[in-house]
Chain A
Amino acid sequence: MVRSGTLILNVAARLLLPLQLMFSWFLLLRGHDEPGGGFIAGLVAAGAFALYLFAYGRRALEAMLKVSPRDLIGVGLLLGVASTLPAWWHGQPFLTAQWWTIPLIEVEASTPLVFDIGVYLVVLGSVLTAIVALVETDDDA
């Protein structure tokens, strides 16, 4: 398997990971008005974790993630489906977008945002599942 052992990669991965994740959240949250969105943000986050994986290996990544990437897929799908439900409350058809402004902080929340977070998690989970699975077979072979 890829065993880096190079100092530069190790340090870079450790320092870059939080930055990349923050960037991915930034892309996710601004996605509705500016370039970005759940799909892109999910890919960025997956890239960040992939870098960490190369530097420190699967065990370290799993220890840091704490949850299995496959669970991320499940949660993402659940969020995606859940975001379709609030419309029923208002007697509107399935999937009609709902918008609320959270008082005090004046931030707009909406079902499309929840949906987008679902997309983010599904993309992140899927890519990581594939990468980790490949690394795992590498370990075995």
Chain B
Amino acid sequence: MQLAVLGGFGVAAMAPLLYRWCGARAAIVMALLPTVIAVWLMTLWPTIAGGETLWREWAWVPGLDITLTFMVDGLAWLFAMLITVVGALVLVYAGEYLHDRRDLPSFLAVITAFMMSMLGLVLADNLVALFVFWELTSITSYLLIGFNHTDPAARQAARQGLLVTVGGGLALLAGFVMLAQAGESWSLAELTERGERLKAHALYAPLLTCVLLGAFTKSAQFPFHFWLPNAMAAPTPVSAYLHSATMVKAGIYLLARLHPALGDTEPWVVTLSLVGALTMACGAFLAIRHTNVKTLLAYSTVMALGALTLLLGIGTETALTAFVAFLLAHSLYKGALFMVAGILDHETGTRDVTAMGGLRHVMPRTALVAAVAALSLAGLPPLLGFIGKELMLESLLAAGHYRAVILPLAFLAAFLTLAVAAIVAIRPFFGPRRETPRTPREAPPGMLAGPALLAVLSLSFGLAPGLLESLVSAVIGGIGAGPVETRLALWHGLNPALVLSLASLVLGGLVFYRWDRLRGWLARLEPLMARGPEAGYEALLRGLVLLAEWQTRLLQNGHIRNYLIMTLLVLVGLVGHALLMRQTPSLAFTLEVYPHEAAMAGLMVAGAVAACVVRSRLTAVAALGVVGFAIALTFVLFSAPDLAITQLLVETLTVVLLVLVLFRLPRFATLSTPIERLRDLVVAGLSGGLITLLMLAVLAGERLPRISDYMVANSQSLGHGHNIVNVILVDVRALDTLGEMFVLALSAIGVFAMLRFHAGSCATQRGSGTRGDDDG
């Protein structure tokens, strides 16, 4: 399982190669990967349906309790199936949609990487692993939204999506840490069994807040819903996949997963119900203001995500059944509708539904697919969407909490969604034929296959809901309490839910009929809309930029001495504080020096003093060199040859670098005022004094066992080596070294970029870069 996911990343990296071999057909080849995984998941179904959970354990960093353990239960299975099946269809679709784009391979690579991150997310059992995959989906989503990176609007939308979801991700990380502390485990499976303890824990309120923030930002809940419609700047396959079927459901998945651990408490029910209901109403209301078909669908996705949150908040058995049915229904019809929207955009050259009309004559198959999917969106029989909506209304009618608030909001959302469905399915395809920027033709089979299959699934699950019963009970067995028997049926009898449905049909029809006039009225609300949460986001961002500018002017003003003073003062402050708080430093020490040691100390002092007072740069460098070499000698004397060699080499290379820089510096002159030099003296004295105190404290506190003895004794058995410095660097603490390697590489790239930019600006200032470059 782990190999499937990690290997999938490898396949993603191979996309450019595949593209070279098979051209645009590479997409179909790539689609084999999710297909294979889906088939494999199907073979697991009998086990999962039996209520079992499949485990694949894999230690990662056992010392920190981080594992890459994957588990498949009903919930994970459902999500993994959605990810792989819709993923395969989207890949095929994308191959057709973007077939004339030269950057198709990079698109395939990123979307496959996203697919694998999403799979990892729903399969991971460990909180840390889940979080890593969570962030990976944010990053790949950023790349995909901004795929048309020459378009400033796409870049803007990508950054907004990233900042909102990653901001929530930070809260989520904090929430996870608290969750692990409260539940004393990093494993989701263990945490779900410790629900009682978690709910009684003092950290429950803060951890719930943080986790909910993470889930709400990811799943575009009010007031974070604004990023999702903007994310429609992405190519349509991305919208169909990430922003309707998968990524935005990651937050919903997390909530469902944590439902047994954190759910069914007062704060959980209230927050989820109210936020969910508000998101529903707000998404549906905002949708009908727009004429762009993708924006319409995006807002109706916001509405659906709100509905899912609301159902999790209610948390009764009916609500959870409705949750699963609605989740599946939504993924199927919304994926199909987005792909239809992509076909319309592709064939007509516009996304404005008011600019299209009468297309059923030229693209009858697309019209049929759109009609079936839209019926499901509208929640009309005999489609799966109808079952989902009926169950939802039933559970809402039975809900105890805040029914008076939730029900009207949900009803509003229901009939507005119906209007949206009618707009999307009827406006482009019926009515008089209109001229469009491009002459439309029927969509190619590669683009039609995906939505058609999804629509057929919507229809067949609607006609035969019995097929889903075992799936639904397997899923809610995991997120609810224990195994349950589920009955799904198209006809629930004449009940209040059906009455509500009929009412919403009438009202929705009315909205559709009067849509053009309604938009005119709503346009007058525009000034009010401009003050929405998105304006808050913009203001926050502006504030952040101002703060960054202010602190950059203050701290990073380009004078190296200021950086140095700042660094030293912070060091002195922090270390000095810790030192003085922990222990009173004793200045008592016995001085026992050999003459050669005293000579070396004297050499160092002389070098340091000389470096400060000489009036030539070269002499100062040489004097500093004396200090460095004396330090190397000290290492030799105390038998640390590795350190001595390193010190010598660093000194040598420093001289090399200085020689290169010296030529570029202006004439040596005293530029600082006496007061500034006094300040420098104070800072230098402070840091020197601190280090002395630190050394005394270290020497005084010989209580701890010396780590070098342990290493000397164990380096051979632990790391097969006698040189303990090296064994520590490359084996015992290799992870630290790996991190340092990256730091070193980054700083080298930083130096390179800085000098290159500087050289570039010099060249432009001079008007031409023809001079130089001919040494040797």
Contact = CB atoms under 8 A, between A and B. Distances in A.
A97 B769 CA distance: 50
Given A32-B726, A94-B61, A73 B660 contact: no
A140 B758 CA distance: 10
Interface of A: 1-3, 31-40, 43-44, 46-47, 50, 54, 56-60, 70, 73-74, 76-77, 80-81, 84, 88, 91-95, 97, 99, 108, 110, 112-113, 115-116, 118-119, 122-123, 125-127, 129-131, 133-141
A16 B571 CA distance: 42
A34 B722 CA distance: 7
A33 B719 contact: no
Given A77-B741, A115-B737, A139-B775, A130 B752 contact: yes
B752 A129 contact: yes
The 7 tightest CB contacts between A and B, nearest first, are A57-B776, A126-B748, A32-B721, A43-B649, A35-B641, A139-B772, A112-B730
B733 to A, nearest CB: 10
A97 B731 CA distance: 7
A140 B656 contact: no
B32 interface: no
Nearest to A55: B776
Contacts of B657: 130-131, 134
11 contacts: A1-B663, A2-B660, A35-B641, A47-B653, A57-B775, A70-B749, A129-B749, A130-B752, A137-B758, A140-B759, A140-B772
B729 interface: yes
A119 B737 contact: yes
B738 A80 contact: yes
A126 B755 contact: no
A47 B649 contact: yes
Contacts of A129: 748-749, 751-752
Nearest to A73: B745
A46 B650 CA distance: 10
Contacts of A110: 720
A82 B63 CA distance: 21
B521 interface: no
A3 B58 CA distance: 58
A43 B660 contact: no
Nearest to B642: A35
Contacts of B755: 133-134, 136-137
B453 interface: no
B682 interface: no
Contacts of B659: 2
Interface in B620-663: 641-642, 645-646, 649-650, 652-653, 656-657, 659-661, 663
Nearest to A116: B730
A108 B751 CA distance: 38
B565 interface: no
Given A129-B748, A140-B771, A134 B763 contact: no
Of A3, A95, A118, chain B has the most CB atoms within 10 Å of the CB of: A95
A77 B775 contact: no
Interface residues of B, number: 58
Given A47-B649, A136-B756, 20 more contacts: A32-B723, A36-B726, A37-B642, A38-B730, A40-B642, A70-B748, A77-B742, A88-B58, A94-B61, A97-B720, A99-B720, A108-B720, A119-B737, A122-B744, A130-B748, A130-B752, A134-B657, A137-B762, A138-B660, A140-B769
Contacts of A133: 751-752, 755-756
A56 B744 CA distance: 27
B752 A97 contact: no
A43 B632 CA distance: 15
Contact of B776 (A36, A56, A74, A134): A56
A37 B660 CA distance: 27
A114 to B, nearest CB: 9
Given A40-B642, A112-B730, A135-B660, A70 B752 contact: yes
B55 interface: no
Contacts of A97: 719-720, 731, 734
Binding site of A, secondary structure by majority: helix, strand, loop or mixed? helix
B727 interface: yes
Contacts of A88: 58
Contacts of A38: 729-730
B731 A126 contact: no
Nearest to A94: B60
A29 to B, nearest CB: 11
A118 B642 CA distance: 18
B656 A131 contact: yes
A108 B664 CA distance: 48
A94 B734 CA distance: 11
Contact of B652 (A47, A74, A76): A47
Nearest to A117: B730
B735 interface: yes
B600 interface: no
Contacts of B762: 137, 140-141
Given A36-B726, A138-B664, A47 B720 contact: no
B721 A33 contact: yes
Contacts of A92: 59
Contacts of A76: 741, 745
A130 B653 CA distance: 11
B692 interface: no
Interface in B487-507: none
Contacts of A131: 656-657, 660
A40 B720 CA distance: 20
Given A95-B734, A140-B762, A33 B771 contact: no
B773 interface: yes
A12 B731 CA distance: 38
A94 B2 CA distance: 14
B767 to A, nearest CB: 13
Contacts of A123: 744
Contacts of B653: 43, 46-47, 50, 127
Nearest to B663: A138
B62 interface: yes
Contacts of A134: 657, 660-661, 755
Given A44-B649, A93-B61, A118 B772 contact: no
B688 to A, nearest CB: 28
Contacts of A59: 775-776
B747 interface: yes
A139 B267 CA distance: 67
Given A35-B641, A56-B776, A125-B748, A137 B719 contact: no
B741 A58 contact: no
A120 B449 CA distance: 53
Given A77-B742, A115-B737, A40 B649 contact: yes
Nearest to A58: B775
A112 B726 CA distance: 9
Nearest to B776: A57
B738 A81 contact: yes
Nearest to A114: B730
B136 interface: no
Contacts of B720: 32, 97, 99, 108, 110, 112
A91 B649 CA distance: 40
